[in-house]
A and B are shown apart, each in its own frame.
Chain A
Amino acid sequence: MRQQNSDVVITRQRVGQIGSYAFGLALLIGVLGLVWTGWSTPVIIAFLVAAVGLATWATFTPRDFAAFITGRQARYGTIAFFSVILLSGIVAMTYLLVRERALTFDLTMSEEFTLSPETKDMLRRVTRPVQITGFYSSQNLLLRAIDDQFFRLYETETNGLIRRVYIDPDEAPAVAASFGATDGSVYISYVNDDGSVDTATLARVPRSDSQERDMTEAILRLQIAGTVTVYFDTSHSARDPLDTSPEGLSGIHAGIQESGLITAPLDMTTLGEANGDVPADAAAVLLVRPLTDYSEAEIAVMDRYLDRGGGLFIMADVLFNDDPFLKQDGAFDQYLWVNFGIRALDAAIVDPVASDRSALDVYSAAAFTGTVTDRFDPQTDPALFRLARVIEVNLESAPANVANGKLVLTSELAYGETNLPQLGQTNTFAFDDGVDLRGPLTIAGWSWDQTTNGRVLLIGDSDFVSNGMVEQYLGNGILFTDGVVWLTDLNDEITFQPQTIGVVPFFPLDQPTRSALLFGVIFLVPGLVLAAGIVISARRARQ
């Protein structure tokens, strides 16, 4: 047997060649690494390898090395290389200059990407620098690109008075935490003189199917920010607006603040004892399930407040204590009935039809829209109320100059259980003809004194705005938000109609049309192209 010679011959030429390859590769890696991460250990190592490769190349094959630098190929190659770099630079500069001008042509039929005249009017009123801050991680790169081309319309329209800033919540988690931001969320705020964000005016921009409405309304809210205050009454063991538990109100509290309104606590008992007044800046006062009823002194405070055009949002639960809040025919209930034609009754709503797990978990079956809300739709997004009280609205003989109405109703099969002691002790309920109230019953009603502009919104439940329920049922949030907007009289100022998009629905095709279409686009058109190709090829073959 012959033994094969497997010796590897290492020549100077080969070492020099390997050196040149190592130089080129390591230099490329080094430059890319430098651009990507800056100076780091791997980058330094790459440049060291490149230096060693270069030295090896120059030492072992000096002629090749010299030819590479000074030869004909080098001269032409260098000219070609630098001319490509020069042209690329010119193209890049042109691109950047054109991008700076932000020239955009919206070719969509309904001008989806053009700001409406209303938005442009509003933007002309912006006088202070505003910052749109978007939080996008690299995972949300596409969302950022889509949002950006919309946000830049605002920047261009205001000549930079509105600016865009993007922050990666993964790269800057502390900044994201200071905004309370999550990936994909967008905030709006004024900018201080030093260029920092005015955190007092910071508000999240909601995200719905209409970007223009979301952003324009957010800017409108920003313009009224700091001018409207909503007070939460904390007396009588009312629900805590800062409580983050499922029973707490932190969700709606944050929602009010995000709408650009200021929130503050108010102690009605202290005010009553001191014969004081609700602060002058109070656009609305929220009474969210006080446990005990109000005294005459407290009612007097509220009377003075309503007389000067205040707004009262009352959420009254079914209570089983001795002196329950807004007890039927109690002083406060009477006050509302006499002055506003609205009151709460001592009856719990039972609805065997429009209810959730229990007949006491009642869904809104119908609603009267127009005055308080236009958005609330019990069919698509019903609100859920838990152990709700019956509200009565005096439609027939309302007080003079008072307009009032029902807002949310139960189904016709609902009834008002009046035996509250039995309900509280045994959780049993049954309809007693002649005693209990027949449906449909009112769960929420409103009243408006047109002389004083005082407004009352009375809802027979407070659970519907608790964190656990307002996050789960969209209708609850809409009802609450629109209620606050109506009470604070901000409706006209922050409601904005976006550009209408002319979406023409497409109806299913009948079978013969579909079949003809299928034949045409999948067989006929491609088939004709193929047939033309075959004919031409055959003709060429014959020639």
Chain B
Amino acid sequence: MNSPLSTRRLFLQKGLALLAAAPTIPTFLDRTMMALADPLDAKRVQQPTGKDGRILVIVQLSGGNDGLNMVIPYADDAYHRVRPSLAHNADTVLKIDNYMGLHPNLAPLKALFDDGKMAVVQGVGYPNPNRSHFRSMDIWQSAAPEIEHPTNGWLGRYFDNSCNGIDPHVGISIGETMPLAMMGQRITPLSFDRPETYRYRGADTKSYLELNQPGEAPATQPATRVGNTRRPAESATEESEMEFLCRTAMDAQLSSDQILRAAGQHKTKAPYPGGEFGNSLRTVAALIAGNLPTRVYYVSLGGFDTHAGERGRHDQLMNQLGLGLSAFNADLREQGNEDRVLVMTFSEFGRRVEQNASGGTDHGAAAPMFIVGGGVRPGVVGRHPSLTDLDRGDLKHNVDFRGVYATLLQNWLQSPSKPILGQQYKLLDLIKA
């Protein structure tokens, strides 16, 4: 069982040697290094995506997106009744059928829908919905509502189960903090805010790398002889704090070079909206164009907690979402990568059906999800939840979100879902065969 550590060390040393030789590494050499994985791992290893593997992009809508004003049941009297100032007029809604349609600002997404590149999953949620932001976000990200304080997420468990541990690029999260969803036990994916800040800023990179190179011997010398408390399990299989830090530093260096290069080289005419969300998607598209071996990207759009004055704010967020996802899709089409990238949107909960006294809505439950990409089986999945048969004023879910995850894991990423989600959920018809 010493092989994972020693292969990693080998990998890091080879990586370091290459870095010392040249500031950038040709992609084919990268692949060679990736191939140094422990052969015992091979059975469960998914190959780096390279030029043809499938990619999943998660778009988190933080704060609790008002799903009822995203996929709008315009023909339902109950909708207009309970939302006197928040309901969108039927004639402005972008109609999907004779009952419901998309938010007026989602025209760019409606075009994708009409073009057969988008599915809407209706009424997604889970039993006994929690209305706390933190808790419900934990539940969506861990996909383990039974665990009170989860420490890993569904995508992290996917990495653990299906990807080899030597590749730091398997997951990339754009943002200040690593989302729980991406945290695994074995694998630490990458996270960064902006490519240009994701690098070591010291003057002497070569010496820095030498100082962060893992040694063969234990890096800290025994400093004292008091007591006899060294843990017996330590050593061969357990990575020391020093080794862990060295590994992370090497991962950061290898990836920051590649990421900066990919982000700098990518040119696109796709009309991304201004602001953080558009920039994040542009970065992801650049990394995909740069052939990073990343299987899952994670971006966020925040500001959905619309307790008061929802109308203008939510309209503006829908605008960002629609423009962002359609520009992203256009970018991928230019690259020829449209068919290998799938986008999934989610939020920790929807909002209360009835508007409140402040022209906003309070925390709710079930809400729709969007699945976008060339590989999508287009259309509407599931029934729109009833606006009159409610649970404490909130929509009841028809689709368990873990069914969506299971479908994406099995039919898109081609990984078994049961070890990741704990049980076999019913698959949905979301992916083209």
Chains A and B are bound partners: no
